[in-house]
Amino acid sequence: MLPITKWTGSKRYQASDIVSNFPKEINTYYEPFIGGGSVLCEYINRLESGNYKCNHIICSDTNYDLIQIYIMVRDNYKFFLNEYEKLYNEFAPLNINDRKVFYNKIRDTYNQIKRDNNTLYNERRIIYFNWLMRNCFNGLVRYNKQGDFTTSCYFTRSGIKPNNLEKIIYEWNYLLNKYNVQFFVKSYNQLENIQSNDLVYCDPPYDISGGMYDYDTFDKEHFFN
């Protein structure tokens, strides 16, 4: 399995070593900084091998749109793939200058869409966020003080090809449902009822990651304490 989306700070190449230190049997696995999901990906692979056991998997993050990507892949993956392919087919044939215009238009539209608190999520906003992450510079997640996404486009690349993404999403959809993986928008310090046979894996923002979480309100001192 490959990560579900591009995300700065991915542990894709360290995930195997990290999970090798997990207990072989866990009641509930918590990952409160899910990010690109590389460690979750590796852990589910271990569960598939039969050498590890876990009863419940609960993942969370304070980034609303990121969590909704996982929920959409789990619950509505065909729509997710179809919408990505439409945007890819519009963007890929463009020259660099036109790509810049197209990318900025999508980014501006994404920033204008406001979350509707009366619904689970705004589907269009989530589709745009996923596409932006696939085409922004190095998967960097950056916001300004107004909460607008500001990362620029990686103009020389057109994002992952739809047929390659399809293989990744199919596998994620199957395994997220098989293991009934739950996703929540919440902070690490909102986890409750953690028991002695549970595991909490924390991969917090880098110390210099200003503007990545909650528009630069992540309290590093509180977290370290």
Domain segments of the chain as ranges: 15-224
As a residue count, the chain comes to 225
pLDDT, one tens digit per residue, over 159-200 is 899 999 999 999 999 999 999 999 999 999 999 899 999 999
Cα of 209 vs its chain's centroid, Å? 16
pLDDT at 59: 97
Token readout for 11 is 């542990």
Mean pLDDT confidence for 1-26: 90
**CATH class of the domain whose range is 15-224:** mainly alpha
CA distance 137 to 167: 23
133 exposed, middle or buried (CB, 10 Å; 0-12, 13-18, 19+)?
Answer: buried
Residue 142: Cβ within 10 Å count? 18
pLDDT band at 6, cuts 50/70/90? confident
pLDDT higher than 80, residue 26: yes
H-run or E-run covering 54:
strand 53-61
CA distance 90 to 85: 9
SS3 31: strand
